[in-house]
Every structure is written in structure tokens, then in C-alpha cells.
Structure 1
Amino acid sequence: MTAANRRRLILYGLPGLALAMPTIPVFVFLPTLYADTLGLGLAAVGAVLLGARLIDGITDPLVGLLSDRLRTRWGRRKPWIALGGLLAGPALLMLFLPPDDAGLGHLLVWSIVLYVGWTLISVPYTAWGAELSGDYNERSRITGWREGLMIVGILVAGAMPVLATMLGLSEGAGLGMVAGAAVVLGLPAIVLLLAKVPEVPLPAGPRRNLGSVWQQAKGVLRNRPFTRLLAAWVLNGMASGLPAALFPLYLAHGLGVDDATRDRLILIYFVAAVVAIPGWLALSRAWSKHRAWAAAMVLACLSFVWVPALGPGDVWPFLVICVLTGAALGADLVLPPAMQADVIDLDALRTGQRREGIFFALWGMGTKGALALAVGLAFPILDWVGFKADAAVGTNTPMALATLAGLYALAPVVLKLGVLALVWNHPMTRRRQAIIRKRLTRLGGEPS
């Protein structure tokens, strides 16, 4: 890799670090801040955040379509990213550093602004990454840098509350530090991205109007390799969402560990993901992206299947499972988006259009839907079997604990086996992608 390519990868990936920092605090700690600290109540805060998330789900395809259609001297993606940064930065500060009299209206307005700003950045940003190169392996490196730096951002954000506690500050102050750090790091990263990373020129030739958002979405879904990959991604999102949502409950009630041990295990899990990314990239070069991703799923299944055999105090065996499943997460993060860039080439060949925005918007909607479905299924099932999250450790029934372990570990194994079936013989092979790229290059204006 040349120094210029490495510099471009770093400058492209850097905004991901700041973008990822607030994700877990927004989803995990923000409701508690407004419900408990500000006294607005869990039910009211939950309803407000649900409304904001519903609006967020609608904006994805709209932003994807607009960023595909926009024509300016600065490019298609850059103006939306700049606008998103101008919205998301102040919204993050207003949410995490609220005034003493902040009410539900404050939470609703600034949550909507934050989610819209996030979407304005994330959809064009990921679409842009798919356009930076047409090379099969280089696309994996691009997603590797972006997703790896996003995990680093999550780790940095996780250290902020710990730092606040060491300084004798409140949890709310720790959240304020996360918001401040995300803005301070994100502003120069986005400026450098917009100023130093060029957008790829659109291919030459006539362009035809592909219709409204709905018409474009239907057209995209006729791309069979994409729909197959999207189905695999949604199933994999549910397989990842279940253990993510149930992780604190399983550690507390299944293994009986304290909060400090839980935080260390989370850290080990994400560090393993970052460390494993270069290995998955190397394996994808030696085999292919879909086969390397399949290998990661096999690793995750062989690791998760032992969880129901663990009991209170089995921290060391679970630590090994965290390392192995964390390593598998590295493949989940970097390989599927790179595979998506390949299947978009087929659409470009058929339509003469580069519309990565609408593809990645549907991808984002699938991600959000899968995570919501995982939570929406797991918690009612636990409630049905009588599991009590607020019960003292060791007081839940064996049936309730077995269900918790099954949902945490065995259900993801079943889902990942379904993903494996979809991915193992995925039709967008290295050879087919190379043929498509040659045809696109002959049409002119395509990245090599």
C-alpha cells in the first residue's frame, strides 16, 4: 500500500471514531439521565425516545436518495456530511449537558435533531466509502479502517465515565465528557475528510430518472445478490443484538459477576474485535470475503454453544468465549459492508447509475430493524417465563435462567447458521466482481 493510499484510508476512517463515541451512551445512559437524574420518568422518556427513533427510521431512505441525486461542485456526499455535523454536534451537547429545567420537549427536539444529523452523516459517509475504490480487496481495507476506528471510539467513550468517577464527578459529568470529546475530535476529522479526501467522479453517459424513494427501493430489491446479502445481514443483526441486549443480565444472573468485571469483559470483547480485523482482511484476500465471513460465523457458533454449560463464577471460561466471539465480531464489521459495495456494482452495470446512498440507507434500516426485533422478542419471552431483572442474584428460577442463557447464546447460534447458509455460496465472487468492474470501466468514469 502506498503512503498516499494509507493517508486516504486514515483520513476517511477518522470521523468514524467520533461518530461511534456517543452510540452506547445515547442508547444506554441517556434514558437514565432524563428519567432518573432529571426526574422525567421512565415511561415518558421511553415514549419520547421511541417517537424520535421512528422519525429516524424514516429519514434513512430519504437521505440516501437525496445524496445520490445531489450534484454540486463539492460532490454528492460532502454537503450532507457537513450539514449533519452542524446538526449532530450541538444536539449532542444539548442532550448530554441539559439545563436544570430541561423537560420532555427538550429531550424530543434535540433527540430528533441528533438522529437526523447522524443519518445525514452516516448514510453518505458509508456510501462514499463504497465508492472510493472498485478493487475487491481494497474495499475491505476501507471498511476495516472505518469500523476499526469506530470500535476505538466506543472504547474511548467507555473510558470517560470511569475517568469521571476517578475525578470524583457524577455519571452525568462523564456523559458530558463523552459529548465534548466527540465534538472536539469529530470537528477536525470531518473537516479533514471533506477537504483532503476527493469524491470519485460519476461515470460518464446519460442518466435516467429512477423514480421516487419507493420506486428506487423496489429497483434495488430486484438485485438478487443484494437481497440475499441484506437478508443475511438482518439475521446476523438479530444474532448480534440478542447477546448485546442480554449481556448485562446474563453476567449478573447467569455468572454472578460484579459491574467492574462486566466492564472489563466488554473491553476485552471490543479489543479482540480490533485486533482480529487484520487477520480477517488477510483471510478474505486468501479466500474471499464471503468465505472469510462464513469462517467467522463458524467461530462464533463454536464459542457461543458452550455458554449454557457455564454457571456462577465461571468467569475464566467466559473470558475465552469473549475473546473468540469478539474476534468474530471483527469480521462482522468489516466484510459485509465491503461485500455490499461489490453487489452495488451489479446495479451500476444494469442501470448506469451510482446510487450507493439508497443501498446503504436500506442497509441501515435493516440494521436498526434487526436490533429492535432482537430486543422486542427477547424481553417478552423472558417476562413470559417469569425472569425478573431486578430480582436478587440466584433467586430466578432454573427455567428462567436457562431461557436467559438460551436467548443469549443458543438463539444467536441458530440465527448464524441461517446466515451461514445464505453466505457460503454467495454469488458475488471475486471473479464475477472483476468481470463487472471491467465492464464498468469500459463505460468510463469508474474507480479502478
Structure 2
Amino acid sequence: MTNSLRPIGLGRYIAYALPAIPIAALTLPLYMIVPTFYSEVTGISLATLGSVLLLIRLFDAASDPIIGWFSDRYSPAFGRRRSLFVLSIPVTATAALMVFWPPTDAGVYYLFSWGVVLSVGHTATILPYTAWGAELATDYKGRSTVAAFRESATLAGTLLAIVLPFAVGLDLTLTFHGLAAVGVVVAVLLPVAGLIAVWCVAEPRNRSTRSVTLMKGVQALIGNHAFLRLLLAFVLNGLANAIPATLFLYFVSDRLDAPSMRGPLLFLYFICGIVGVPLAAWAAKIVGKHRAWCYAMGVACLVFAFSGFLDRGDVGPFAAICGFTGLLLGFDLALPASIQADVVDIDTATSGSQRTGIYFAAWSLATKFSLALAVGLVFPILQWSGFHAQAQGQSGAFALHVLSTLYAWLPIAFKLAAIGIMWNFPLDEAAQHKLRQNIERSQKSRSSSKTERFAYPDVSE
């Protein structure tokens, strides 16, 4: 049996959040720096690289439901979340070192093979970790606190991933370059932080009262309309964020003609994101999670639109945009994950099985779909426009105009659609509190229930 959850104190919040630092230090280079690094340094063409990365992420996506299902079904004495999390760490740490510190003759096949191992290992690490966090608190505001600690650590790890590559340098001819430094840090820090977390933080009691078959589980997930609505909004907003993330380094180097400012601007963006996380938690207490998220997305659209008008040398105005949108990044990180934990309660209350793993697998799948679609969409368009990734400053006016349009204005349409979906989201604090009461009240009766059909409660009241 898993230990019952002890009251959460500051020390346990911190201990749980620690692994988010190396996980984030791995995540940002994997999705943002690795594409640029392999295209600029190894000479892989943009079209080929986009196809390889798309294949890696689609292959990786197939592992999400399998790992999510397994994390819900695998129930050792040490805890179903913590056990899988610990077992995945050596694979993830080793693969990160191989992808981030490639040999000088690394090519397409090297990137594909180790990229698949790293992506699947990363999934096996982060899925049980986030599901574990979603189960640490059961109340509406408490979940925002857990998410705030984790996402603050995530941003700290992101800053680490920004500083190391640009401080050491991204030249593959160096014996030890900046991306390799990130790989070494992840390989060392992930096992250490992971062990601290599992030692200090107990896993919550499994609230399941019965086992649900795979088919009935799929039926329950599809019937959870609040989750599907949140997932669609998350995919759209994720795509809106993934497009500029994929193009950021090119935009600063070629559109603004300021390659030396890539690291400082990224650092500014994510340091402001750390400030934005507690701001998001505060706003959620005032207007609710979904409305606070909508307001943040709306303001982000308004501010980010100005970046499409920038030209060579406009580093100052772009720095202001980075700082302001960085604050709003805290909302994108902390609030959707907290809302996700709330919608899982709908499933637990109706199916009798606490299946946080499969829900976060769908969440992870949506994230990867957004990132894969962003790369698969914008890289071929850039190559068609005549953009030269390996020759900074050699792209023509039309290519730079396409780059600006993709970077600044295309994401706005996706964010506006996400706002429309989430504005009247039905699961607020009162509805979530009612769900938790139902879960606690019906837990014993659920264990003897033979009901076969799922009847979802109306959370719109």
C-alpha cells in the first residue's frame, strides 16, 4: 500500500518541485535549441530536419497512452507514480547526454535513434511526475500552489538551459560545447533531484475503488466533455506558443540582426516568467483559473502583435515585448495544469477509478502534437521562402517577411480560438469542491457498485 499523504509543507513543496529543474533543462534544448543546433552545425537541411523531428515526436506520441495507462495500473508498494518515475531516470539522463553531446559526424540517423530514446524516456519521467503532483492536493486552490512551485522550478531549469549553451558556445568544433554542458548537468542533477523528491514526498493514497478496463476507460475519457474542451484549448494555445519558440533564434539573428542577444533575450523572457507564476496564482484566486488564463492569453495577443512590425536593430522594443509576454508565460504554465487536475476529478467521481496517468498522457500527447505541428509546418514554409538557416544575414526580404509573419501573427489566431473555448468553462471552484465531496462520500459505496454505465455530473451549475 502507498503511504497516505502527509500535510504538505514548504519543504515538501520544494522537494517535489526540484526534479522540474533538470527536466526543464532537458525540455527547452530538446524542442528549441536542438533543431537550430543540428541545422546550423551539422548541416542537416531544414526540410530534412523538420521531417526527422516530426517522425521522432510522432513516434514518441505513441508511447504516451501506453505509459499513462501503465502508470495507472502498475501499483507497487513504493507507489505507482514514484516507482515509474525512478525507473525512467537512468534512461532519460543517458539519452540526454547522447543527444546533447553528439559526435562530430552525427547525422540524421544518429539524431533519429537517440532522439526517440530521449523522447520516450522523457515521457516516462514527466508523466508520472506530473500525475504525482496533480494528486498531492485535492482542493481547487491547493492545486494551483503545487503547480506554481513546480512551474517556478521549471522556469529555473529553463534559465539554466539558456545560460549554459550560450555561455559555453554552440560550436560543435569545440571539445566541450554548450549543449554538451546541458547534457552533463541533466545527467547528474536529474538522479539527485529525483531521489530527493521520492525520499521526502509521500505518494497520495490511490482513490480508485474499482478497476476500469481499457475500453471503458476510453469511453469515460471521451465522455468527459470538460476535459476535451480544455484539451482543445490547450492544443491551440500550445501551437501558438510552439511556433514562436521554434523560430525565436532565427527571428533574433536574422530579423533583428542581433545574434549575440539570443541568450540575453531568452533569459529575460523566462526570468519574467518566474515572476509571472505567483501573479497567475494570485489572479486565479480573484477571478478563477480559466478566466485568469483567458485574460492572460488576450493580453499576450495584443502585446505580441507588435513584434511583427520590428526590423533590424529593434532589440529594445523586442526586449520589452519579451519581458511583458514572459510575465504572461507564468499563466500558461501554472493555470492549465491546475485546471487539468480538476477535470480528472470528474472522471474519478464517475468511473470510480483515479486515472490521472492516462489523462496526463493525453495532455502530454497534445503538447507534443503542438510542438510537432509547429516544426513540421514552419520549417518547410521557411525553406520555400528562401530562408537560409546556415548563413545568417543572407536571407532575402521576402524570406524575412515570411519569418516575421509566422513568428508574430500566425500564433494570435490560435490563441484567440483558445480564449473562445475557455471563456465560459464550467468547472469553477464551487463545482470542483462539489466533485471532491462526491468522491469522498461515495468512495466506500463505489467499491461494491456494479454499475456499468458512466453518467457524468453537470458541472455547469
Distance (Å, rounded) in 2 between the aligned partners of 1:339 and 1:31: 31
Amino acid at match of 2:14: I
TM-superposed deviation, 1:268:
0.6
Per the normalisation by structure 1, the TM-score is 0.89
Q: 1:211 maps to what in 2?
A: 214
Distance (Å, rounded) in 2 between the aligned partners of 1:40 and 1:411: 26
Once the two structures are superposed, the pairs formed by residues 270-309 of structure 1 within 5 Å of their partners are 270-309=270-309
Q: 1:412 maps to what in 2?
A: 411
Q: How has the CA–CA distance of structure 1 residues 436 and 27 changed in structure 2, closer, same or farther, with 3 Å as cutoff?
A: closer
Check whether the contact 1:16–1:147 (CA below 8 A) recurs between aligned residues.
yes
Distance (Å, rounded) in 2 between the aligned partners of 1:419 and 1:224: 16
1:66 aligns with 2:67: no
Amino acid at match of 2:188: V
TM-superposed deviation, 1:387:
4.7
Q: Aligned residues, how many?
A: 440
Amino acid at match of 1:221: I
Amino acid at match of 2:354: R
Once the two structures are superposed, the pairs formed by residues 163-312 of structure 1 within 5 Å of their partners are 163-165=167-169, 170=174, 172-203=176-207, 205=209, 207-212=210-215, 216-256=217-257, 258-312=258-312
Higher mean displacement: 42-51 or 304-313: 42-51
1:314 aligns with 2:317: no
Q: 2:94 maps to what in 1?
A: 90
Q: How has the CA–CA distance of structure 1 residues 248 and 94 changed in structure 2, closer, same or farther, with 3 Å as cutoff?
A: closer
Q: 2:458 maps to what in 1?
A: none
Of 141, 153, 157, the match for 1:149: 153
Check whether the contact 1:204–1:443 (CA below 8 A) recurs between aligned residues.
no
Amino acid at match of 2:416: L
Higher mean displacement: 39-48 or 323-332: 39-48
Q: How has the CA–CA distance of structure 1 residues 400 and 20 changed in structure 2, closer, same or farther, with 3 Å as cutoff?
A: same
Check whether the contact 2:241–2:411 (CA below 8 A) recurs between aligned residues.
yes
TM-superposed deviation, 1:133:
0.8
Check whether the contact 1:217–1:358 (CA below 8 A) recurs between aligned residues.
no
Q: 1:436 maps to what in 2?
A: 435
Query: What secondary structure does 2:121 align onto?
Result: helix
Of 84, 92, 96, the match for 1:80: 84
Q: How has the CA–CA distance of structure 1 residues 138 and 46 changed in structure 2, closer, same or farther, with 3 Å as cutoff?
A: same
Q: How has the CA–CA distance of structure 1 residues 392 and 17 changed in structure 2, closer, same or farther, with 3 Å as cutoff?
A: closer
Q: How has the CA–CA distance of structure 1 residues 384 and 354 changed in structure 2, closer, same or farther, with 3 Å as cutoff?
A: same
Percentage identity across aligned positions?
Answer: 39
TM-superposed deviation, 1:431:
1.1
Distance (Å, rounded) in 1 between the aligned partners of 2:177 and 2:390: 26
Amino acid at match of 1:238: L
Q: 2:162 maps to what in 1?
A: 158
Distance (Å, rounded) in 2 between the aligned partners of 1:132 and 1:344: 13
Distance (Å, rounded) in 2 between the aligned partners of 1:426 and 1:302: 22
TM-superposed deviation, 1:193:
1.4
Query: What secondary structure does 1:21 align onto?
Result: helix
Distance (Å, rounded) in 1 between the aligned partners of 2:301 and 2:42: 42
Distance (Å, rounded) in 2 between the aligned partners of 1:124 and 1:382: 37
Distance (Å, rounded) in 2 between the aligned partners of 1:350 and 1:28: 40
Distance (Å, rounded) in 2 between the aligned partners of 1:412 and 1:364: 20
TM-superposed deviation, 1:216:
3.0
Amino acid at match of 1:225: A
Query: What secondary structure does 1:22 align onto?
Result: helix
Distance (Å, rounded) in 1 between the aligned partners of 2:307 and 2:436: 44
Distance (Å, rounded) in 2 between the aligned partners of 1:253 and 1:40: 19
Check whether the contact 2:21–2:155 (CA below 8 A) recurs between aligned residues.
yes
Check whether the contact 2:56–2:119 (CA below 8 A) recurs between aligned residues.
yes
Query: What secondary structure does 1:306 align onto?
Result: helix
Distance (Å, rounded) in 2 between the aligned partners of 1:10 and 1:91: 26
Q: 1:112 maps to what in 2?
A: 116
TM-superposed deviation, 1:437:
1.1
Q: 1:423 maps to what in 2?
A: 422
Q: How has the CA–CA distance of structure 1 residues 252 and 288 changed in structure 2, closer, same or farther, with 3 Å as cutoff?
A: same
Q: Which runs of 5+ in 1 are unaligned?
A: none
Distance (Å, rounded) in 1 between the aligned partners of 2:190 and 2:285: 32
Check whether the contact 1:8–1:197 (CA below 8 A) recurs between aligned residues.
yes
Amino acid at match of 2:301: C
Of 8, 11, 32, the match for 2:15: 11
Q: How has the CA–CA distance of structure 1 residues 297 and 34 changed in structure 2, closer, same or farther, with 3 Å as cutoff?
A: closer
TM-superposed deviation, 1:26:
3.1
Q: How has the CA–CA distance of structure 1 residues 89 and 403 changed in structure 2, closer, same or farther, with 3 Å as cutoff?
A: closer
TM-superposed deviation, 1:36:
7.7
Check whether the contact 2:163–2:263 (CA below 8 A) recurs between aligned residues.
no
Amino acid at match of 2:212: N
CA RMSD of aligned residues (A): 3.1
Check whether the contact 1:83–1:117 (CA below 8 A) recurs between aligned residues.
no
Amino acid at match of 2:136: L
TM-superposed deviation, 1:443:
2.6
Q: How has the CA–CA distance of structure 1 residues 32 and 357 changed in structure 2, closer, same or farther, with 3 Å as cutoff?
A: same
Check whether the contact 1:242–1:375 (CA below 8 A) recurs between aligned residues.
yes
TM-superposed deviation, 1:331:
0.3
TM-superposed deviation, 1:401:
3.6
Check whether the contact 1:81–1:124 (CA below 8 A) recurs between aligned residues.
yes
TM-superposed deviation, 1:311:
2.6
Check whether the contact 2:226–2:426 (CA below 8 A) recurs between aligned residues.
yes
Distance (Å, rounded) in 2 between the aligned partners of 1:16 and 1:92: 15
Q: 2:455 maps to what in 1?
A: none
Distance (Å, rounded) in 1 between the aligned partners of 2:279 and 2:41: 44
Check whether the contact 2:57–2:368 (CA below 8 A) recurs between aligned residues.
no
Of 119, 126, 130, the match for 2:130: 126
Distance (Å, rounded) in 2 between the aligned partners of 1:283 and 1:350: 30
Q: How has the CA–CA distance of structure 1 residues 223 and 25 changed in structure 2, closer, same or farther, with 3 Å as cutoff?
A: same
CA displacement, residues 90-142 of structure 1 (integer Å, 9 cap, x when unaligned): 22233444567877766554433322221111111111111111111111111
Q: How has the CA–CA distance of structure 1 residues 385 and 144 changed in structure 2, closer, same or farther, with 3 Å as cutoff?
A: same
Check whether the contact 1:96–1:172 (CA below 8 A) recurs between aligned residues.
no
TM-superposed deviation, 1:164:
2.7
